[in-house]
């Protein structure tokens, strides 16, 4: 005599139950705890798209100005046309450098208003030209000229403020810019010295002309741009004369 046992049917998650129509109670298999519940008819596991959350994130992105790190402008705007030129971002303005350079060319009519906004791009350019002409003369003096410019700027800054006292308002940045732009006569002298004989009094006479040119321009700009230096013009001119004589001797020898 055979004994029959009631065995419940096996239900697979991906397929249907062939005995669904029968009255036998089916056993449901619980999903794994680490797997999200998939909607019916979905064939991509571990992925569920929430349309409501995507809409909320899109609206919040539009409120707070687009993607992370973006500005508050309209989406899709702001191309390369709205960007500033590279020289302007670096603080280099060729038109201002040209105006300041032209004001140095005439030692008897210097316009101090052009040099009120001091910059260092023009002096660095003149420094590079001076080093280049010295290199063409067979002298590698890049470090020497740079060191002398720094020491000369600090020296002239200290001398002017000591003479002016409490009325002195000259800062180191302005002093370095003025001293660098007034280096233009010596840059011209270094270019002219390439075609002048190395021996003779003509070279020293030409050097004296350019040194007095640079001294006059630098003294006038220092007195005009800062307060308290008008009564000490002679002493400031003497300090400028020492500085530019030193650079002229560097060019001669």
What crossing angle do the helices spanning 172-181 and 142-164 adopt, rounded to 10°? 120
Q: What is the DSSP letter of 1?
A: -
Residue 207 has pLDDT above 90, yes or no: yes
Within a domain: residue 224? yes
Q: Name the residue range of residue 192's domain.
A: 94-252
Within a domain: residue 20? no
pLDDT at 11: 63
pLDDT in tens, 145-179: 999 999 999 999 999 988 887 777 888 999 999 99
pLDDT at 134: 94
pLDDT at 28: 57
Over residues 133-143, the mean pLDDT reads: 93
pLDDT at 76: 47
d(CA 164, CA 159): 9
pTM as predicted? 0.66
Within a domain: residue 244? yes
Per the prediction, the chain carries an average pLDDT of: 78
How many other C-beta atoms are found inside a 10 Å radius of the C-beta of residue 2? 3
Within a domain: residue 48? no
Residue 135 has pLDDT above 90, yes or no: yes
Within a domain: residue 120? yes
pLDDT at 216: 94
Within a domain: residue 150? yes
pLDDT in tens, 31-62: 555 555 555 554 555 455 455 554 555 555 44
d(CA 155, CA 136): 29
Which distant-in-sequence residues (6+ apart) come within 8 Å of 172 by Cβ? Answer: 153, 154, 157
- Among the ranges given (16-20, 105-109, 205-209, 245-249), the one the predictor scored with the smallest mean pLDDT: 16-20
Residue 183 has pLDDT above 90, yes or no: yes
Q: What percent of the chain has pLDDT over 70?
A: 69
Residue 109 has pLDDT above 50, yes or no: yes
Within a domain: residue 165? yes
Residue 199 has pLDDT above 90, yes or no: no
- The domain tally of the chain equals 1
Within a domain: residue 58? no
Over residues 223-252, the mean pLDDT reads: 90
């Amino acid at each position: 005599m055979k004994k029959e046992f009631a065995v419940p049917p096996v239900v697979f998650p991906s397929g249907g139950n062939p005995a669904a129509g029968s009255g036998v109670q089916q056993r449901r298999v619980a999903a794994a705890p680490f797997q999200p519940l998939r909607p019916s008819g979905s064939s991509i596991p571990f992925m569920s798209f929430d349309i409501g959350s995507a809409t909320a994130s899109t609206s919040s992105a539009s409120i707070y100005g687009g993607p992370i790190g973006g500005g508050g402008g309209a989406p899709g705007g702001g191309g390369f046309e709205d960007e500033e030129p590279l020289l302007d971002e670096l603080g280099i303005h060729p038109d201002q450098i040209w105006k300041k350079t032209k004001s140095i060319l005439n030692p008897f009519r210097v316009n101090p208003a052009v040099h009120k906004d001091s910059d260092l791009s023009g002096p660095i350019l003149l420094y590079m030209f001076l080093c280049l002409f010295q290199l063409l003369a067979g002298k590698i003096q890049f470090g020497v000229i740079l060191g002398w410019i720094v020491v000369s700027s600090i020296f002239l800054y200290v001398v002017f403020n000591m003479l002016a006292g409490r009325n002195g308002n000259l800062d180191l940045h302005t002093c370095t810019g003025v001293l660098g732009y007034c280096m233009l006569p010596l840059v011209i002298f270094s270019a002219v010295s390439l075609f002048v004989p190395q021996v003779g009094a003509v070279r020293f006479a030409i050097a004296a002309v350019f040194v007095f040119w640079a001294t006059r321009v630098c003294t006038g700009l220092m007195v005009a741009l800062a307060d308290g230096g008008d009564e000490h013009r002679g002493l400031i001119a003497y300090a400028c004369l020492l500085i530019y004589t030193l650079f002229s001797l560097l060019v001669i020898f």
